[in-house]
Amino acid sequence: MSTPINLNKVRKDRARADAKARADENAVKFGLTKVQKKAAQQQRDTDTRSLDGHKREP
């Protein structure tokens, strides 16, 4: 006789695989590259410094 199979484990493994596949698709579709993230961060820093430099003190 074969060994028993834990159906809950099989179900959860299948759900994990589906979630991983969906996450990979979303990363390709919506994700940014490291260079793009760094450029966006530098732009935000520049904008913040520019705005802070134009503030008037009370």
- Based on its alpha-carbon atoms, the radius of gyration of the chain, rounded to whole angstroms, reads 24
Give the DSSP letter string of 36-47: HHHHHHHHHHHH
| Average pLDDT across the chain, whole number | 92
User: Are residues 40 and 32 in contact, defined by beta-carbon separation less than 8 angstroms?
Assistant: yes
Q: Residue 2's pLDDT is what?
A: 87
Q: Residue 16's pLDDT is what?
A: 98
Distance between start and end Cα atoms, the chain: 84
Section 15-21 average pLDDT: 98
Q: For residues 54 and 18, which has the higher predicted lDDT (pLDDT)?
A: 18
Rounded to the nearest 10 degrees, how much is the dihedral formed by the CA atoms of 22, 20, 18, 12?
-150
